[in-house]
């Protein structure tokens, strides 16, 4: 049985554990054995994005130690995949020994939907989710990883599911990690623009590959009492 290593990310581990469990369920359904290194923590993205690169290097070194090996690393987040797969090399550009470890790691890190489509070559997971959904393209997954068609292809095979596209599916939700804390008014305005687009689709659920985006959108949805739920792609694909 082939093995994969799961990096579930901070947000999933602390706030949305069902997403990690759903990801493991889908992978095991495809015949993969999932390993979960308990020493895993953060990828260092919050510190990196805020300019604290020395602190981010310490977190990244720990990540490199914990995920040493040769099995694919599957991540339920476009932003964290982007950090590990693209920006660790920025942190260690002047450290040849660590940079060599980073390059070896980069070849093993996959955003969840990309692993399903490009490595497992899966389309139909046998999922059943009888709802009308719309898909939110998270910024890192779309712009840094090029993830766009894959999640939609996976959703097209879910029984009972109807996909209704937003007119601004590719626009940012306004979260941006610490951006939402530093610029709450701008962040809130961006989220509201996105919510208005979601409402125009008539969808009952918003799907994405990033729980951080879904958290941002769910906050606005809940405060306004709207009849919409947010759900990670892994949870949809794990549904029976």
Instruction: Give tens-digit pLDDT for 186-240.
Output: 988 999 999 999 999 999 999 999 999 999 999 999 999 999 999 999 999 999 9
The ranges assigned to domains in the chain are: 3-118, 123-238
Asked if the model's pLDDT at residue 174 lies above 90, the reply is: no
What is the arithmetic mean of pLDDT over 171-180? 84
Q: Is 82 exposed, middle or buried (0-12, 13-18, 19+ CB in 10 A)?
A: buried
Q: What is the CA radius of gyration of the chain?
A: 18
Q: Using alpha carbons only, give the angle 103, 154, 18 rounded to the nearest 5 degrees.
A: 75
Q: What is the CATH number of domain 123-238?
A: 3.40.50
Residue 105: count other Cβ atoms within 10 Å of its Cβ. 20
Confidence tier at 18 by pLDDT (50, 70, 90): very high
What is the arithmetic mean of pLDDT over 91-99? 96
Asked if the model's pLDDT at residue 177 lies above 80, the reply is: no
Give residue 79's pLDDT.
95
The Cα–Cα gap between 172 and 226 comes to: 20
What is the reported pTM? 0.95
Q: How many residues does the chain have?
A: 240
Instruction: Give tens-digit pLDDT for 119-147.
Output: 999 999 999 999 999 999 999 999 999 99
- Asked if 127 and 235 touch (Cβ cutoff 8 Å), the reply is no
């Amino acid at each position: 049985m082939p093995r994969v290593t799961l990096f579930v990310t901070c947000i999933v581990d602390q706030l949305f554990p069902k997403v990690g469990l759903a990801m493991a369920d889908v992978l095991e359904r495809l015949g993969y054995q999932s390993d979960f290194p308990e020493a895993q923590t953060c990828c260092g993205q919050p510190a990196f994005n805020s300019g604290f690169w020395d602190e981010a290097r310490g977190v990244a070194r720990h990540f490199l130690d914990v995920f040493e090996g040769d099995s694919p690393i599957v991540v339920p987040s476009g932003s964290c995949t982007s950090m590990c797969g693209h920006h660790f090399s920025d942190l260690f550009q002047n450290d040849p020994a660590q940079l060599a470890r980073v390059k070896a790691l980069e070849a093993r890190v996959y955003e969840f939907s990309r692993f399903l489509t490009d490595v497992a070559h899966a389309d139909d997971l046998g999922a059943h989710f009888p709802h009308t959904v719309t898909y939110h393209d998270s910024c890192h997954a779309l712009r840094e990883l090029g993830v766009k068609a894959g999640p939609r292809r996976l959703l097209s095979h879910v029984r009972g599911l109807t996909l209704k596209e937003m007119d601004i599916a590719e626009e940012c939700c306004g979260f941006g990690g610490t951006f939402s804390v530093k610029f709450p008014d701008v962040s809130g305005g961006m989220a509201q623009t996105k919510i208005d687009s979601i409402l125009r689709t008539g969808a009952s659920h918003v799907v994405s590959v990033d729980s951080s985006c879904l958290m941002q959108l769910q906050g606005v949805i809940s405060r306004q009492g709207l009849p919409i739920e947010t759900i990670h792609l892994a949870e949809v694909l794990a549904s029976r």
